[in-house]
Structure 1
Amino acid sequence: MAKLFKPLMIAGAVAVVAVGGWLALRPIPVPVDLAEVTQGPMEVTVNAEGVTRIHNLYHISSPVSGLVLRSPVEVGDPVVAGKTLVAAVEPGEPAFLDERSRLQAEAAVKEAAAALKLAEANIAAARSALDYSEAQMARYQRLYDNGNLSAQEYQRQRADLETKKAQLAAAEAERDLRQSTLERQRATLTGPQVPEAGDDLTDCCIRLTAPVSGQVLSVVNTSQRMVAAGEALLTVGDPKELEVSVDLLSSDAVRLKAGATATVDRWGGDGLLQAKLREIEPSGFTKVSALGIEEQRVKAILDFTGPPARRAGLGNAYRVYVRIVEWQAPDAVQVPIGALFREGADWAVYVDGSGVARKRVIKLGRRNDEVAQVLDGLKPGDEVITHPSDRVAEGVQVTPR
């Protein structure tokens, strides 16, 4: 019995060693992630952040220097074109005079008053001279009519009379001039005055109404204050006339055309908003990115195509995310970007061929961030290995992870 047991033990040990060697030497399938090649609609988009803005903004400024009264409107108030009062400007009060300026103004008033008295004295002298000339002219007229005065002497007296009349008119004009000068000099002494109780401060010289129906978007300062001519007071616009401004890389902008469709996402509401590219501005500008890199960018303007009620709550200068369609196809064969790798100058993928990795060179068309268009080398339903590791090679056994 012992002799029989010993050969069995030896045979069992040999079998265990053989099985262990086979297990150690047999190829182990590499776990991989598989994705199916599909066929369907495909889009290539240019993506960028944008800012909403009202198409026509009306910045209202003061047409004259003066005192603008407290704003009758606040941000968000509705306005009607030509009817809603948005600002009122009164003439400003004169400034205070320092001691030197006041003394100079008082001296100028005295000077103007003295000049007025001189002008009045000149009038008196001119009127007296005219009265004498008129009396002389009456005597000369009788002598001329009786033939006792020559025509030459008569004409000389008439010329002297007209001269005296002109001198009186000049003296009166001088008096009016000096009177106006005196009033002007007195006006320089006028200082700011405190309004009395009951004065109506709303009876302004200039009333500004809304240039367009819409809403008040901003008010520079709601308080009463002095303003200069051309100083901004408030901004008015119609929130229904929203558009989107996007800063695109110039290299992306050249691939887009006016009329391209777009979607607006991350705007705060539910779903996507539809838009259309209206124009790409012809001039670019330099912008420094967050990484400190100078980039040439250009503004693209998009119009919303859906009803305003669809984007309720979206206002001026809101941040959004825009996807502008550069290219689209209704029935494209697509492979995930993660399955692609370079094979020399070509693109290739690994296909799962019944548990064995098979390298296949393919021809690609358009690509986006997720998939690439396959022009040749794959067909819908093929399973490709995504993100293949360095263990995956031609003929290697693979198994789905």
Structure 2
Amino acid sequence: MKRSTWVAAGVASVAVVGLLAWAFAPRPVEVEVATATQAPFRTTIDEDGKTRVRDRYVVSAPLAGQLLRMGLREGDRVEAGAVVAQIVPTLSPMLDERTLRDLQARLGIAQAQVERVKARVEGARIGLEQARSEATRTEQLASQGFVSLTKLEVTRLSAEAAQKELEAATQERHVANHEVEQARNALAAVRSPQQSGRGFALRAPVAGRVLRVAQVSETVVPLGTPLLELGDTARQEIVAELLTTDALRVQPGAAVLVERWGGTGSLQGQVRLIEPAGFTKVSALGVEEQRVRVLIDITSPPAQWAALGDGYRVGVRVVTLSLDQAVQVPVSAVFPLPAGDGNGDVAFGVFRLDGGRARLTPVKIGARNGSHAWVQQGLPVGATVIVYPPTAVRDGLRVKPRAV
């Protein structure tokens, strides 16, 4: 056989071996990748809530008598002091003495309520002064870079909440004075029914809208019968029922985003109170849950949510953690490490893309929300990580980003 034939056969053999090696060589695994970024980060507790008029006033009959037909209906606006109903006293002689004692007791209770509300007004005024002083100090520290902008926002919201508390206490004082006046007039009408004229005028304690009319037609009503409910729909709060385990992570003054309320954009809110007592509620799946009511004030301008009424359903997102800047990756890139692979409190890892290979990198996770995880240690900004890593991916495996 000629030498050229041997050379050709050898070249062909090498080519075949090369083709076989290339055909059976492991291919890089295609993966989806993302970049570690530094941006604002926050965690929230998402729950449904319901609006509620913060101050609801039930106007009841201050004396027994004949209630004249009322012309008010649900949704009507009334001014403070406007006549909402009229009652003609029709007292039985056997009940006169007892009714007098009842009305005298109601007058005493109303006068005691006035004194109690005065103390609340003074307490609210002191709280407002303290909140304003704290806000002033925080603004000075923020201008020098000693406190974060989040802390500054919380103190400002606390000052606004204290201002609203003072306004509510002042309004309650007006209502208490109105109750004293109504009790005195009712007592005078019983003592001298011949001087009461057509009837005893029942007046609105505050300006607002009629929420419910309990008695529409003319009828005889006993003492204390609820007649209608009044409330200012511009002063509303949101009641959200959180799991008690979630409520432990919420603090008064926490920021709240109000969504799915029917309007455009989100409304701003603030947690005012976490009720001290929880209750048992059965979920839609039949599971008993321990929940607690969280009261939220709407801090957005009232004109923005003027269409909201009493008892409307909304969605709330209570902010439990807010960072101005944080290194974060998609939460789908983070996975728990097997026992013994972590370093102390580092129990999570990511696959980092390095030179075409996947490198297992332990990281310390500070918190996670629905889309991103906050990486406290172990990963620099700009690093490329694998999201939704396939089961075939391991440390040192050749990978390549999947074309989008």
User: Normalization by structure 1: what TM-score?
Assistant: 0.66
Alignment partners' CA distance in 2, 1:24 and 1:38: 39
Q: Which of 270, 282, 287 lines up with 1:293 in the alignment?
A: 287
SS of match in other structure, 1:259: coil
Alignment partners' CA distance in 1, 2:371 and 2:289: 25
Alignment partners' CA distance in 2, 1:93 and 1:13: 122
Matched, 1:367 2:365: no
Counterpart of 1:352? 353
Mapping for residues 68-87 of structure 1, pairs under 5 Å? 68-83=67-82, 85-87=83-85
Matched, 1:248 2:242: yes
Mapping for residues 69-148 of structure 1, pairs under 5 Å? 69-83=68-82, 85-90=83-88
The answer to whether the Cα contact below 8 Å between 2:328 and 2:375 also exists between their aligned partners in 1 is: yes
SS of match in other structure, 1:328: strand
Comparing 383-392 with 217-226, which one deviates more in the overlay? 217-226
Deviation at 1:19, TM superposition (A): 5.3
SS of match in other structure, 1:218: strand
Alignment partners' CA distance in 1, 2:350 and 2:88: 78
Matched, 1:265 2:264: no
Assess, with a 3 A threshold, how the Cα gap between structure 1 residues 399 and 67 changes in structure 2: closer, same or farther: farther
Alignment partners' CA distance in 2, 1:16 and 1:228: 108
Q: Which of 210, 229, 232 lines up with 1:216 in the alignment?
A: 210
Counterpart of 1:49? 48
SS of match in other structure, 1:352: strand
Alignment partners' CA distance in 1, 2:32 and 2:16: 35
Q: Which of 304, 313, 330 lines up with 2:307 in the alignment?
A: 313
Alignment partners' CA distance in 2, 1:336 and 1:221: 59
Larger radius of gyration: 1
SS of match in other structure, 2:393: coil
Counterpart of 1:36? 35
Letter in 2 for 1:400: P
Instruction: Write the deviation string for residues 317-336 of structure 1: whole angstroms up to 9, x where unpaired.
Output: 11111112212111111121
Percent identity of the aligned residues? 42
Assess, with a 3 A threshold, how the Cα gap between structure 1 residues 10 and 69 changes in structure 2: closer, same or farther: farther
SS of match in other structure, 2:324: strand
SS of match in other structure, 2:303: helix
Alignment partners' CA distance in 2, 1:228 and 1:51: 34
Deviation at 1:278, TM superposition (A): 0.9
- Structure 1: unaligned runs, 5 residues or longer: 95-202
Instruction: Write the deviation string for residues 152-208 of structure 1: whole angstroms up to 9, x where unpaired.
Output: xxxxxxxxxxxxxxxxxxxxxxxxxxxxxxxxxxxxxxxxxxxxxxxxxxx753332
Assess, with a 3 A threshold, how the Cα gap between structure 1 residues 92 and 31 changes in structure 2: closer, same or farther: farther
SS of match in other structure, 1:258: coil
SS of match in other structure, 1:338: helix
Deviation at 1:366, TM superposition (A): 2.0
Q: Which of 336, 346, 364 lines up with 1:342 in the alignment?
A: 336
Deviation at 1:45, TM superposition (A): 1.7
- Cα-Cα RMSD: 2.8
- Structure 2: unaligned runs, 5 residues or longer: 93-196, 340-346
Alignment partners' CA distance in 1, 2:223 and 2:29: 79
* Number of residue equivalences: 290
Letter in 1 for 2:394: A
The answer to whether the Cα contact below 8 Å between 2:234 and 2:306 also exists between their aligned partners in 1 is: no
Matched, 1:233 2:233: no
Letter in 2 for 1:252: D
Matched, 1:323 2:317: yes
SS of match in other structure, 1:42: strand
Assess, with a 3 A threshold, how the Cα gap between structure 1 residues 28 and 221 changes in structure 2: closer, same or farther: farther
Assess, with a 3 A threshold, how the Cα gap between structure 1 residues 28 and 224 changes in structure 2: closer, same or farther: farther
Alignment partners' CA distance in 2, 1:289 and 1:249: 11
Alignment partners' CA distance in 2, 1:68 and 1:356: 86
Alignment partners' CA distance in 2, 1:75 and 1:45: 37
